[in-house]
Structure formats: C-alpha cells, structure tokens
Chains A and B, each alone.
Chain A
Amino acid sequence: MNTTKYNGHHVWRRFRRQQLWRQLRANKTAFVSAIVLIALCLLGLLTPWISPFDPTNMQQQNIMDAELPPFWQLGQDRRFLLGTDGLGRDLLSSILYGLKNSLWIGFWAVILQFTLGTCLGLCAGYFGGWADRLIMSLVDFQLTFSSLMLAILVLAITRAAMGAHDYHIWAPWLLVLVLGLADWPQYARTLRASVLAEKHKDYIAAAQVLGYHSRHIMVFHILPNTLSPLLVIATLQVAHVILAEAALSFLGIGMPYANPSLGGLMGAGFEYMLSGIWWIALLPGLALLVLLFSINLVADWLRDALDPKNLGQRP
C-alpha cells in the first residue's frame, strides 16, 4: 500500500469496492444480474466490431431479404441469425446497434443529470438562504412538468426546426440533453436533504475551523458522505432514461429509423405484428427487458449495499 499517496477518492472508492464486492458475492441474484449487465455493456461497446452487418449502411441492405424469420423457423436464411426487418436489415445487428445507442444515451444523460443535480443540491444544502430557496423553487417548478411531455415538445420543435437531415445527426445529443435536463431535481432534492443532515455534524464544523475553503469542504467532506443514495438513484435513472428514450423512439421522435435504438426498433416492428411477423418488435423488446431488469436488480443490490445502516454494522 502506497502510504504517501494522498488521494481521498481513490482510497475511498477502493474501500467501498471491497465492501461491495463481498456483498455482491453473497447475493446471487445481484451477482447474476451484474454479470448480465456487464455482458450487455460489453456487447454495446464492441458492437461496431462484432456486429455481422452495419444497419446504418444502406449498401448492405437488400429489400429482397426483408421480413425473414429467425433461425429456428423453417426457410430462414443462414446469413440472418435473428431474421430481418421490413427493410431487409439484419435484426441481430440492429439490436446490437440499438443496444449501443440506448446505453450511450442512458449513460450520458445520467452523467448530465448527476452532475447538474449534484452541484445544485450541494449548493442548496450547504449555503442555504437565498441559494437554497432559488434552487428548490427551480426544482419544484421543474417537477410540475411531466418530463416526457417536455421531451416530446422540445424534440418535436427541434425536429421541425432542424429538418430531417440535421436532426438525424444531432438526435443522440438532443436526447441526452433533453432527458438529462429533465430529471435532475431528484438528485438535487435527495442530496440537499443529506447535506442538511451532514453539515451540522462536528467534522464539518471542524473542517471550517481548520480554515478550509467552502468548495473544498463541499467536495471532499460532504459529498463522499452523501454519495450513496445518489449512486442508487443514478443507477435506477439509467434504466429510467433508456425507457424514456425507448418510449420517445417508439412514438417516432427519438432516434431516427436509420440509426435506431431499441425503442425505435420496437416501434417500427409494431406495424408488422398483426401480419404475424412478430420478431421485429418482440426481439428488441426482449433485449430491452433484459437490460432494464438487470439494471434494476443491480440498483436494488446497490441500495442495500450502500445503506448507511449496513455500513454502520461493520466492526
């Protein structure tokens, strides 16, 4: 152990990870879902290299291959493991790319929410007074909107304003922005409450007496002690954001059909459902289900594992 190295976050994270690791091994459901989640994330990351086709490349598509069934049905084509969609794109590749897009949007939107909510919640809780009143009014104001409604409104307008081509390019960033800005109040509220509880403890007063800058106290003393609930919210929010994005794409205002997410694939496949071509909608839906389920189970375990009551029981 390098004793002269002074890096609070590094040590703290390692400490937590050891604790988390033991609890993860003890919880079979969480362990399996964590493995599934990691596998899905790896698939998403490696998609450009492992996917058999590139669904965004029109030259690889042939309309004559359209609506082929998955491999276990008679008369399938050996090239397309999970069949093809209405445009003749390989469904497996589409699902992999959809997975990548969904995870990408979920990840960055949550990073945005987390940063925004954490900064504002920390300031509101620590400084109090007018900063607190202003930020909390903002939170209450934002909570009066349905975030999905707001997203639909913003996306519909930008899409009309930008035109299809520009929208196609900017869609992922727009979704990250809209979904990221929509849900920060949760973090801010939770964090503010924990900060209020934490800031009256003696070690914060001690830090103030020791003459640390308030920025330093907020980041290095209060934040690490209030991070646990935020991590749980963030994990759950990844699932929430992916779901919201899927809903938007299903409604046709999310990711463009040429570069679909899982929700977009479902939306497109839905038209074929009644003609018995069920796989176009159902298989991406299944992938989404597994993804969200594993995220939620991992978040559930994280909540137990980071519960301060559990931490307090350690000798």
Chain B
Amino acid sequence: MTSPLLKVTDLRVNFISRWPNEPSVDVLRGVSFELYRGERVALVGESGAGKSLLATSIIQLFDSSARISQGEVEFEGQPLTQLKPKQLRQVRGRRIGMVFQDPMTNLNPTLTLEQQLLECILSHRRISRAEARLVALHKLRQVHIPAPEARLQQYPHQLSAGQRQRATIAMALALEPALIIADEPTSALDVTMQAEVMSLLTHLCHSNGVALLLITHDLSLVAHASDRCLIMYAGQIVEQGPTHSLINDAQHPYTQGLIKALPQMSAPGQPLFQIPGQMPTVDELGHYCAFAKRCEFAHDLCWKKAPAMPLVNDHRASCHLLVAPKTHIGAKL
C-alpha cells in the first residue's frame, strides 16, 4: 500500500483561555484520518462540529489563540506542525491549495484578476511573466470562464459570484498542488451554480490528480463528489468510509440521522426529520459518547465511556452499539 499524502494522527486543538486559571478545553478531540493521492474525501458535519478548524489546523492557518496540543499532521511525509514559517510557506500554496467559502471576499478587490493570478504563480514558480500569463489563461479556460483574456483585466467586482468562485479554483489549481482543501466552496452560490462549480472542482481535481478535501454540511453534494467520507461531530470523526457504503449503510446513529434529515422526493408533504437537541458545547464534553444526549439508542454504557471505532463492513464508526449491539438494545433496533 502506498503511503498516504496526508496523515492526521490524534490531532487535538484547543483555544488558549482568556483567563489565566481557566483550563483550556480541546475543541478538536483526537482526529485521525488519512488521505491518499488523487483521492476525493468529504468532511461532513453540522455547524460547529470543527470542520473548518480541522482544515485550518492542517495548514496551520488558525487564529493565534488556537494551538495544537497533541497529535501530528504529516503531509508528504513532512510533519507540518514542526515546520518553520518559511518552510510552511513553501508547502502552502505550492503543495496545498485552498478554496474558501465566500466568493465575495476571497479575491482582493483592489487588484485585477491578472495581478492576483500572476502574483500567485510567480511567487512559487520560477517562470517568466509571459509564461505565467499563459498558465493563468489555461487555468481560467479549464474552469470555463468565458473570454479569459478580457477577464484577466477585470476587477473582482466585475465578475459574478460563480465566476469568482471559479477564478478562485483556477488560482488554487494554478500551482498544481497535491491537495486542495475546499471549505464549503458552494454554500454561497445558488443551486444551479453549486452543481456546476462542484462538478468542475471534482472533475478538475480528478483529471489533474489532485487530492481534494471537501468540507461541507450538505450530504447530497457528497454523494457524487467524493470517494470517501468523514462524518464529524463535536470535534471528532464519528464515522468514516467509502461514500456509497457510508450513505447506503450508515452505522452511526448521527450519520443515520443526517441521512434521514435530507428532504425526500418520495415523501412529499411530510415534515422533515430533525435530529433532536443541539450539539454539546465544549464544556459539556467528557469521557463519554458526545452524541449520547441526542441519540435515540443511548444506554448506560454510552454515558460511561467513549466508544471505540470498530471496523464494520468496509467503514468505521465510533458507537457502542457496533461493539455489542445485540445484548443491549436488540429490541429497540
């Protein structure tokens, strides 16, 4: 088996408390996963689950009050947490690209597209300005921006939201990185645009051999945009596995809930399913299952210790039910 492109091992991130004597609580609580070359992995979870924090932790782009308390992020065999700022800058952009959520703010409003694209290309590659311009044009064509020569001279406010988001994707692709992290790249776009940008992103990553870490809260996007799926809840990965088997055969009650909460075309007029309650805050978390409070199958064991992550079929889920399901709640299931 080849070595993973990105390997996150037991990553714990906390925020330094404002008050000196207050203990800091982990917000990411031991996240481990691997990502292989060319693989498209989706990171799914509701708001506040720690998806974006995980993404920014990987490239060390978080707020100065956050810090990695434990664990390791290894990228192409390099431990990212131990790199010096200069080495880190080499990895960012050159090897890992990022696409952000809001197309209205992800481009600098005072620079033309050409200036931004060339700046990005020339800062990492030793090629001439004319060559860089050709690369920029090529990438803009790849993301289906019409009349790229004219677009290069324009400022971000002259582009539509979809065009901006595509320009951002072009910018991330321009350096031919090994991994692109896309943080909810389509949630600010309208539905038709979403589908287009999404298919563009996944298709381009696939054809260029770029691995994609796609952060989203939309399971329906994930279904055809990813090979593998990580479900995140309260700072932990609760279930991971190949997308199709994860969606068709969800093991964790939270994943089941997420899938049930999708609007069903087959049942029009029915009220939508909701997972009751809310995600626990960081001070409510302890050494027990974080989902226990909202889980319809919760039993004594769930409140006593944190579940392990057993392998079920071809994916993993952290739930006590999977270890000894029949004895406890056989009747309920």
- Residues on A lying within 8 angstroms of B by beta carbon are 1, 3-4, 6, 8, 11-12, 15, 128-129, 201-203, 205-213, 216, 220-221, 224-225, 312, 314
- Residues on B lying within 8 angstroms of A by beta carbon are 59, 61, 64, 88-94, 96-98, 100-102, 105-112, 114-115, 118-120, 123-124, 129-130, 133, 152-153, 155, 157, 168, 171, 175
**A308 — nearest CB in chain B belongs to which residue?**
B109
Cα A265 to Cα B90 in complex, Å, equals 61
Say which residue of B97, B100, B114, B152 sits within 8 Å of A202 (CB atoms): B100
Say which residue of A6, A15, A128, A225 sits within 8 Å of B108 (CB atoms): A225
**B181 — nearest CB in chain A belongs to which residue?**
A209
Expressed in whole angstroms, the minimum distance between the Cβ of B282 and any Cβ of chain A is: 22
Which of A129, A206, A220: most chain B Cβ within 10 A? A206
A203 touches B115 (CB 8 A): no
Say which residue of B93, B97, B107 sits within 8 Å of A203 (CB atoms): B107
A210 touches B157 (CB 8 A): no
Say which residue of A3, A4, A202 sits within 8 Å of B105 (CB atoms): A202
Residues of B within 8 A of A128 (CB): 64
Expressed in whole angstroms, the minimum distance between the Cβ of B193 and any Cβ of chain A is: 17
Expressed in whole angstroms, the minimum distance between the Cβ of B57 and any Cβ of chain A is: 13
**B152 — nearest CB in chain A belongs to which residue?**
A3
B153 touches A202 (CB 8 A): no
If A128-B64, A210-B97 are given as contacts, then 8 extra A-B residue pairs at C-beta distance below 8 Å, sorted by A number, are A15-B155, A202-B105, A209-B61, A209-B98, A211-B90, A212-B119, A212-B123, A312-B157
A314 touches B157 (CB 8 A): yes
B96 touches A209 (CB 8 A): yes
10 contacts between A and B (CB under 8 A): A6-B114, A15-B155, A206-B168, A209-B93, A211-B90, A211-B93, A212-B93, A220-B111, A221-B111, A224-B110
For the A-B complex, the count of residue pairs with Cβ-Cβ distances under 8 Å equals: 89
B106 touches A206 (CB 8 A): yes
Cα A225 to Cα B110 in complex, Å, equals 6
Which of A12, A208, A211: most chain B Cβ within 10 A? A211
Residues of A within 8 A of B92 (CB): 208-211
Residues of A within 8 A of B108 (CB): 203, 207, 221, 224-225
Cα A208 to Cα B93 in complex, Å, equals 8
Residues of B within 8 A of A211 (CB): 88-94, 123-124
Residues of B within 8 A of A212 (CB): 89, 93, 119, 123
**A312 — nearest CB in chain B belongs to which residue?**
B157
B105 touches A201 (CB 8 A): yes
Cα A4 to Cα B131 in complex, Å, equals 10
Say which residue of A6, A203, A208, A312 sits within 8 Å of B61 (CB atoms): A208
Cα A212 to Cα B94 in complex, Å, equals 11
B89 touches A206 (CB 8 A): no
Cα A221 to Cα B120 in complex, Å, equals 12
Known A8-B115, A209-B96; judge A202-B129 contact (CB<8 A): no
Cα A207 to Cα B172 in complex, Å, equals 11
A3 touches B153 (CB 8 A): yes
Expressed in whole angstroms, the minimum distance between the Cβ of A205 and any Cβ of chain B is: 6
**B149 — nearest CB in chain A belongs to which residue?**
A3
A210 touches B112 (CB 8 A): no
Residues of B within 8 A of A206 (CB): 98, 100, 106-107, 168, 171
Expressed in whole angstroms, the minimum distance between the Cβ of B114 and any Cβ of chain A is: 7
Residues of A within 8 A of B105 (CB): 201-203
Cα A254 to Cα B332 in complex, Å, equals 91
Residues of B within 8 A of A209 (CB): 59, 61, 92-93, 96-98
Expressed in whole angstroms, the minimum distance between the Cβ of B110 and any Cβ of chain A is: 4
Cα A3 to Cα B152 in complex, Å, equals 9
Which of A3, A209, A212: most chain B Cβ within 10 A? A209
Which of A129, A205, A224: most chain B Cβ within 10 A? A205
Expressed in whole angstroms, the minimum distance between the Cβ of A204 and any Cβ of chain B is: 8
Which of B106, B130, B152: most chain A Cβ within 10 A? B106
Known A3-B153, A4-B129; judge A210-B107 contact (CB<8 A): no
A4 touches B133 (CB 8 A): yes
A12 touches B94 (CB 8 A): no
A12 touches B93 (CB 8 A): no
5 closest pairs, A vs B, by CB?
A211-B93, A210-B93, A202-B106, A202-B100, A211-B89
Residues of B within 8 A of A216 (CB): 123
Residues of A within 8 A of B96 (CB): 209
Known A6-B118, A11-B115, A202-B102; judge A210-B110 contact (CB<8 A): no
**B102 — nearest CB in chain A belongs to which residue?**
A202
B129 touches A6 (CB 8 A): yes
Residues of A within 8 A of B175 (CB): 210
A8 touches B93 (CB 8 A): no
Residues of A within 8 A of B115 (CB): 6, 8, 11
Expressed in whole angstroms, the minimum distance between the Cβ of B127 and any Cβ of chain A is: 13
**B120 — nearest CB in chain A belongs to which residue?**
A210
Cα A213 to Cα B92 in complex, Å, equals 11
